[in-house]
Chain A
Amino acid sequence: MSYSISIRPFGIHAVLIEWPNEVDESILNDILHFKNFLISNCLQNEEWELIPAYNSLTLVRLSESIDFKDFTNKLSNWYDQKKDASIKFQRYLCRLPVCYDLNFGIDLLEISERLQLSTDEIIKQHTKSTYRVYGIGFLPGFMYLGGLPGSLEIPRRAEPRLKVASGSVGLAGKQTGIYPQESPGGWNIIGNCSVPIFNVERPVPCIVNVGDQVQFYSISKAEYDLHKIESEVGIYKIEKIAIDA
């Protein structure tokens, strides 16, 4: 699969490559294939950072500036070469436990009324979907997830909260996601994930990468408390299943 891509300078140290302006799994796949092709065949790892998100891939050169004209030609050629290359990289489905207890899901009752869905139905809808990670940003480990059922689309809150608890699971527009740290935020909070998404103490600090899939499942308050203890002492095993890229 090949798309018409655009390559533009982004200051003197970075280049932005853009795919068609859509939220689309095949576009995301193509971006990630190209990213992995560049890392394994074209760019020195130490020298570059590659940041994928939705329909774009940003390449940042860490020490020197980029000769844009020359580099654009190279990128176009590399993108052509990528077509015939077989690129292997592992992706995962990450199953994340969420406690939808009303003490965590502080907006559940309100949105149940606004969406005309029972809280049980909201939980059922939220846990039945498989979501794709289209980007990670805003906060360390904050996932932009695509794939929310239309029935759960609800505008963000009119007044953002100054503090949203770490682990909070929220809904906003077409998006759902988890606040990896305490932060200000305007999403509607429906539960709390018992597993830390981002932790610098772990060898791999973020439990997901762009392109991975995420699924939520409902847990009781007792299970939530147990996970918290297990995470603290480092024996909680994150449920990650390898999937075909």
Chain B
Amino acid sequence: MLKLLKSGFFTTVQDKGRFGFRDIGVPVAGVMDNLALEKANGLLENNVDAAVLEITMTGPTIVFNEPTYIVLSGAKMSATLNSEPILNYKVYKIKSGDKLSYGKLEKGIRCYLAVKDGFKTKKVLNSRSFSNAITKVNYLKDSSEVIYEPCTVFKPKISELKVNSYFDEVRLEVAKGPEYDMLQDKQLENIFGKDFTVSKENNRMAYQLNEKIQGHDTSMLTSATLPGTIQFTPAGKLIILMKDGQTTGGYPRILQLNDKAISILAQKRAGDKISFKLL
């Protein structure tokens, strides 16, 4: 078990997501930056669905009450273990009583803390991912405790990874969405010809963009949406659905981000620039 002396701005438990319940409207949830999750769980030789902490904007202060091994991943945020600086994508051994603190956020916005064999909070509908209306809590508060199985002996095959930083990547790779063909030349020019700015309306549900393009009056029947679906409102706004996004929607789905693009976007904050590249 670990304890969050301070919770940080928005810290949640997430795994790969909650699958099999979209037909009753349950969002997938799960980590926003799946690249960071896979690498952290990979280093610890965890199952792919092992749960981690997703840490947003400011980091928590954590005391570990049992031995384990940890990996930090995702956003570049300075961190110390018992006051000694530690690095992302490197396995560290933890003894009971060790204290992990976070400092300045340098690049990206979402960090991950993985422990050996993952956090063991209660599964709801087959997943540990916090999600509105599904799990009892939506984020961890000060003094929250999160359980894991103690581990004293683990010899990682690889103890450290070099990960190419994707925080400065602006281009998001997209495929055509189901309603792509409704787009006129002028709209296409604007979508692919210029940069967009992430709006302050950005969270685990959706990222809105500041710039509008020419609107439309195409109406459609409500139909499924996915994480990474770009919805196009009649007023010309682009809304990119993310992991907590609703499972159905009535706006045309003009583009679809690929998995890597979702991870890149998950590390953007208000004011950051993005552009789209059609695959």
Pick 25 A–B contacts, CB within 8 A, sort by A.
A10-B224, A10-B226, A14-B226, A16-B224, A18-B223, A21-B221, A53-B224, A54-B223, A56-B221, A58-B224, A134-B222, A135-B223, A136-B248, A137-B222, A137-B224, A139-B246, A140-B24, A140-B26, A140-B133, A144-B222, A205-B24, A205-B26, A206-B24, A206-B25, A209-B23
Beta-carbon nearest neighbor of A15 in chain B: B178
The B188-237 residues at the A interface (CB cut-off 8 A) are 220-224, 226, 228-229
Interface pick from B14-22, B62-70, B76-84:
B14-22
Q: With A16-B224, A56-B224, A141-B25 given, can you name 6 additional A-B contacts, CB distance below 8 Å?
A: A16-B223, A52-B23, A53-B222, A136-B23, A181-B132, A200-B124
**Any A CB within 8 A of the CB of B125:** yes
> Which residue from B125, B228, B248 sits with its C-beta under 8 Å from A11?
B228
What residues of B have a CB within 8 angstroms of the CB of A181 in the complex? 132-133
Judging by beta carbons under 8 Å apart, are A137 and B246 in contact? yes
- Residues of A whose CB lies within 8 Å of any CB of B are 8-14, 16, 18, 21, 23, 49-56, 58, 60, 62, 134-142, 144, 180-181, 198, 200, 205-206, 209-210
A60 and B222 in contact, given A137-B247, A206-B25 (Cβ under 8 angstroms): no
Judging by beta carbons under 8 Å apart, are B19 and A62 in contact? yes
Beta-carbon nearest neighbor of A138 in chain B: B246
- Residues of B whose CB lies within 8 Å of any CB of A are 19-27, 124-125, 132-134, 175-178, 220-224, 226, 228-229, 246-249, 253, 256-258
What residues of B have a CB within 8 angstroms of the CB of A11 in the complex? 175, 177, 226, 228-229, 256-258
Judging by beta carbons under 8 Å apart, are A180 and B224 in contact? no
What residues of B have a CB within 8 angstroms of the CB of A14 in the complex? 224, 226
A200 and B134 in contact, given A11-B228, A205-B125 (Cβ under 8 angstroms): yes
Q: Which of A134, A137, A138 has the most CB of B within 10 A?
A: A137
Judging by beta carbons under 8 Å apart, are A54 and B224 in contact? no
Judging by beta carbons under 8 Å apart, are A53 and B223 in contact? yes
What residues of A have a CB within 8 angstroms of the CB of B226 in the complex? 10-11, 13-14, 58, 60
Cα distance A78–B199 in the bound complex, in angstroms? 44
- A147 CB to closest chain B CB (Å) equals 15
A51 and B23 in contact, given A12-B258, A137-B249 (Cβ under 8 angstroms): yes
Cα distance A140–B134 in the bound complex, in angstroms? 8
> Which residue from B23, B134, B256 sits with its C-beta under 8 Å from A10?
B256
For the complex of A and B, list the 3 residue pairs with the smallest distance between their C-beta atoms, beginning with the closest.
A137-B248, A58-B224, A11-B256
Cα distance A21–B220 in the bound complex, in angstroms? 8
What residues of B have a CB within 8 angstroms of the CB of A9 in the complex? 175-176
Q: Which of A8, A55, A135, A141 has the most CB of B within 10 A?
A: A135
A139 and B133 in contact, given A51-B224, A51-B247, A53-B221 (Cβ under 8 angstroms): yes
- A10 CB to closest chain B CB (Å) equals 6
A51 and B248 in contact, given A141-B24, A142-B25, A144-B222 (Cβ under 8 angstroms): yes
- A216 CB to closest chain B CB (Å) equals 20
Cα distance A138–B221 in the bound complex, in angstroms? 13
What residues of A have a CB within 8 angstroms of the CB of B223 in the complex? 16, 18, 53-56, 58, 135
Beta-carbon nearest neighbor of B124 in chain A: A200
Cα distance A14–B124 in the bound complex, in angstroms? 25
Q: Which of B22, B125, B247 has the most CB of A within 10 A?
A: B247
Judging by beta carbons under 8 Å apart, are A136 and B25 in contact? yes
What residues of B have a CB within 8 angstroms of the CB of A180 in the complex? 133
What residues of A have a CB within 8 angstroms of the CB of B248 in the complex? 51, 53, 135-138, 144
Cα distance A50–B23 in the bound complex, in angstroms? 7
Beta-carbon nearest neighbor of A19 in chain B: B221
What residues of B have a CB within 8 angstroms of the CB of A55 in the complex? 221, 223
What residues of A have a CB within 8 angstroms of the CB of B19 in the complex? 49, 62
Judging by beta carbons under 8 Å apart, are A209 and B22 in contact? no
